[in-house]
């Protein structure tokens, strides 16, 4: 009785404020006193004392957890300001001839090369071979296709910002939605690469490239001179008016972005008296320098010797030695977090720091506001500047960090060595299985750096350097590091569905054939070996986001690619996959469903939301476990509906139907009270609501339910209609993602408009005038060559960082216009 009363009072006290909370805490103390008397009455002195101490500790833990959960819900928006860009994004001159750059693509692998450097390397290799009597074999494969006599392709010229009016002339003005869709596809077809995919800029985050620059500086894995020049151009162009850099291109200046990019420019060779450096230094100095840089920035600077490890909170490699049943085992983390904190653990555990150089000593004076020798490091562990902080540390994390620091002071050398060996084993495994691409750019360069500190200039380390080029994308504003090695499969899957639903596949047969070929070669055929040992989900039959070499399976990529393949099959295309491969994709989709009924990204949700109490990043939200998302769920569910339409007698039908039913209930459950769905991977409610409506309507068909007149769908329709602008379009700002409510963009956007229209037409809304006005808006924004103008950034991840999906402005307007022309305006149900 006293235990139950104590727990109840502690919970109530933690959730209360003021005098009420104090009274409850006093009541709890009284109950503990009764517990003490009873303990000594019925137990021996030893066991009574032990029992009372454990009771006290348990109630204290309950209190801390409740308070931490409260803190977890606090998100700081006030300091997240919009970016104030310079007048021109390309004001910093290239310093070299952009006409001499070429994009090499092989089975989706994209790499940019500067021809004069290739010719010089080829000449050097030839001379070496003649001298040694053998070829060196050092040149990357496929470069023989690039030559100075070969003119730039239209897509290369387009990405680099050149005039392409000769290659893509003006088209006859569209007078109907179908004409507009056709013109849009005539333009977009020109951007399809030879291997069948669409390439595009997938940049936006500004904290990625510094990791590559730091790693190359520390290891001596030199970037090519042309790459350095273009990186400098990009970073100078992306500097804000106040002298700082944001975490992403549409964000206000932060210490995370400013500190890392300032240091990067200096490492790349920009002099400290360059105007950009003077302005950047002024911003840092006026905001306390890098003392309050978030935890990821602290760790990166520590590897350079610009922060001491005593100022970094522990990332213990010993956690990888724990048994998996421990609730906080790293194997339970969302894979992106897991694969980043894995090499972080190695770097922290080994206190990996490069040799001090004169440049590092100069930088200490430039990025700090006090003398290096006078800095008191321990208080800086939890320091995070207010302009950066998005998710504050929970009380629980603060306590855990204190315990881990104590352990770090007395850690056992033999145990540390074992744990470092364990992390290296996992790092090497990920390198090999992804052919040294890794899951993303952060762990790519951290893995590379960890291997160098562990092995030096080994062959394993050397295998990393060529794959770094897979992440570097050249655009008209310079060279950036992308958020992945591209979004090749993702963009191609959407493009196929848009063309076929518009009924244009007959006019773009060769385009669709090439797209199918890319879908074919990108499907993952087999599982990773020893996947359980390395905490991997099954992957055979799945599709990744980019290329097969990358290999990490993703639920919505699998769903959208499967739908694209089935669309091609339904259209009568001769280019189809085998029934076994479709079934393998469905097997993966079924395996992805979480216990809550929704679908995650890469893996099942392996731990509870309590893991967010231990989120140490400060700048990213909901990164600790793989949650269910409306986009992932909808894509997976719609794909299985299409599969059943093609294979109604599949033995998996008995599993698919209840899975769809559970998925529908989950989607209805997470609908916002305003009527929309929050989109976690693009901006934002227009995107999420499109997925939510289509999932309900399409799945309802195979489950014998008509959701077009369901309360949830009608409420979503009303929500979208309430956001339509006077010009007929929809425009949503990136801040919707950050603030978790609809934030109006200053003007309508073709991307948001297309998503809203696709959703309304899927719902078969009776508000046809509203749909027609949206269609008119899309047509009015189309350029004479069939393209649409580039607008505000459309992608997002982890609630606080934007990322570009440049193809969205082409694909989704074509899709919406085509759906309107061939189905909605004809009175045909708008979703297959």
| 734 vs 193: CA distance, rounded Å | 30
CB atoms within 10 A of CB 502: 27
Q: What tokens were used for 785?
A: 């060559």
Contact 788, 813 (CB under 8 A): yes
Q: What tokens were used for 438?
A: 């890794």
With tokens 């459950």, the residue in question is 669
Contact 194, 109 (CB under 8 A): no
| 202 vs 204: CA distance, rounded Å | 7
Nearest alpha-carbon partner for 247 in 384, 449, 447: 384
| 525 vs 523: CA distance, rounded Å | 6
Nearest alpha-carbon partner for 565 in 519, 631, 523, 526: 519
| 599 vs 589: CA distance, rounded Å | 8
DSSP β-bridge partners for residue 254: 245
CA distances from 8 to 11, 14, 61, 401 (A): 5, 10, 13, 28
| 479 vs 332: CA distance, rounded Å | 35
Cβ neighbors of 528 (< 8 A, separation 6 or more) are 433, 534, 536, 539, 551
**Active-site residue, from 430, 556, 626, 787:** 556
| 564 vs 554: CA distance, rounded Å | 15
532 part of the active site: no
Distance of CA 352 to the CA centre of its chain: 27
DSSP β-bridge partners for residue 514: none
Contact 367, 307 (CB under 8 A): no
Query: Coil, helix or strand for 539?
Result: coil
Helices marked H in 476-508: 488-501
Q: Which residues are catalytic?
A: 556
């Amino acid at each position: 009785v006293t235990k139950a009363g104590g727990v109840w009072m502690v919970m109530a006290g933690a959730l209360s404020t003021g005098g009420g909370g104090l009274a409850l805490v006093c009541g709890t103390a009284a109950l503990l006193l009764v517990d003490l008397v009873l303990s000594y009455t019925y137990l021996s002195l030893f066991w009574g004392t032990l029992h009372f101490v454990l009771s006290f500790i348990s109630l204290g833990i309950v209190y801390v957890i409740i308070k931490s959960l409260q803190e977890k819900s606090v998100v700081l928006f006030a300091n997240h300001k919009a970016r104030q860009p310079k007048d021109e994004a390309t004001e910093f001159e290239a310093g070299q001839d952009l006409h001499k750059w070429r994009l090499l693509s092989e089975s989706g692998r994209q790499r940019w090369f500067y021809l004069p450097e290739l010719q010089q390397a080829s000449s050097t290799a030839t001379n070496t071979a003649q001298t040694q009597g053998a070829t060196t074999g050092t040149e990357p494969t496929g470069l023989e296709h690039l030559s100075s006599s070969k003119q730039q392709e239209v897509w290369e010229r387009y990405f680099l910002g050149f005039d392409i009016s000769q290659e893509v002339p003006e088209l006859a003005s569209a007078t109907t939605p179908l004409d507009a869709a056709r013109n849009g596809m005539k333009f977009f077809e020109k951007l399809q690469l030879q291997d069948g995919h669409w390439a595009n800029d997938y940049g936006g985050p500004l904290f990625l490239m510094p990791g590559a620059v730091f790693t190359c500086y520390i290891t001596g894995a030199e970037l090519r001179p042309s790459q350095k020049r273009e990186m400098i151009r990009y970073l100078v162009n992306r500097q804000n008016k106040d002298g700082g850099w944001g975490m992403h291109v549409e964000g206000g200046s932060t210490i995370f972005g400013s500190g890392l990019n300032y240091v990067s420019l200096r490492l790349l060779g920009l002099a400290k008296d360059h105007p950009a450096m003077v302005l950047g230094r002024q911003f840092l100095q006026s905001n306390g320098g890098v003392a309050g840089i978030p935890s990821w920035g602290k760790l990166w600077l520590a590897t350079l010797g610009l922060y001491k490890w005593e100022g970094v909170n522990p990332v213990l490699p010993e956690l990888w030695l724990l048994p998996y049943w421990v609730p906080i085992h790293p194997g339970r983390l969302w894979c992106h977090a897991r694969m980043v904190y894995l090499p972080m653990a190695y770097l922290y555990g080994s206190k990996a720091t490069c040799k001090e150089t004169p440049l590092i000593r100069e930088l200490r004076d430039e990025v700090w506001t006090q003398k290096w020798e006078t800095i008191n490091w321990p208080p800086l562990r939890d320091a995070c500047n207010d302009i950066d902080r998005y998710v504050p540390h929970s009380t629980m994390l603060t306590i855990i960090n204190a315990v881990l620091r104590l352990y770090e002071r007395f850690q056992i050398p033999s145990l540390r060595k074992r744990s470092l060996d364990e992390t290296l084993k996992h790092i090497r495994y990920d390198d090999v299985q992804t052919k040294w691409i890794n899951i993303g750019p952060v762990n790519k360069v951290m893995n590379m750096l960890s291997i160098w500190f562990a092995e030096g200039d080994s062959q394993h380390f050397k295998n990393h350097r060529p794959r770094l080029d897979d992440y570097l994308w050249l655009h008209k504003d310079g060279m950036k590091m992308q958020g992945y090695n591209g979004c090749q499969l993702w963009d191609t899957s959407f493009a196929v569905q848009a063309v076929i639903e518009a009924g244009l596949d007959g006019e773009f047969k060769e385009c669709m054939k090439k797209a199918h070929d890319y879908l074919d070669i990108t499907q993952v055929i087999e599982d990773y070996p020893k996947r359980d040992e390395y905490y991997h989900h099954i992957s055979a039959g799945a599709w990744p986001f980019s290329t097969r070499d990358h290999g990490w399976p993703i639920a919505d990529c699998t769903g959208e690619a499967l739908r694209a393949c089935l669309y091609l099959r339904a259209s009568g295309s001769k280019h189809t996959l085998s029934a076994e491969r479709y079934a393998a994709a469905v097997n993966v989709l079924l395996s992805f469903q979480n216990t809550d009924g929704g679908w995650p990204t890469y893996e099942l949700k392996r731990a509870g939301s309590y893991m967010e109490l231990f989120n140490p990043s400060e700048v990213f939200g909901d990164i600790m476990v793989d949650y269910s998302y409306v986009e992932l769920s909808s894509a997976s569910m719609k794909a299985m509906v299409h599969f059943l339409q093609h294979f109604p007698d599949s033995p998996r039908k008995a599993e698919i139907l209840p899975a769809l039913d559970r998925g529908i209930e989950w989607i209805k459950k997470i609908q916002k009270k305003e009527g929309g769905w929050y989109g976690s991977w693009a901006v934002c409610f227009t995107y999420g609501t499109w997925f939510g409506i289509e999932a309900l309507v399409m799945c309802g068909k195979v489950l014998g339910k008509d959701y077009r007149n369901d309360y949830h769908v009608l409420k979503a329709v009303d929500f979208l209609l309430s956001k339509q602008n006077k010009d007929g379009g929809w425009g949503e700002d990136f801040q919707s993602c950050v603030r978790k409510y609809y934030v109006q963009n200053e003007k309508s956007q073709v991307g948001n408009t297309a998503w809203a229209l696709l959703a309304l037409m899927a719902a078969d809304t009776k508000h046809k005038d509203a749909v027609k006005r949206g269609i008119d808006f899309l047509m009015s924004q189309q350029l004479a060559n069939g393209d649409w103008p580039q607008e505000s950034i459309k992608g997002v991840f982890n609630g606080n960082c934007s990322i570009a999906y440049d193809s969205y402005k082409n694909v989704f307007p074509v899709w919406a216009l085509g759906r309107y022309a061939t189905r909605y305006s004809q009175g045909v149900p708008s979703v297959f």
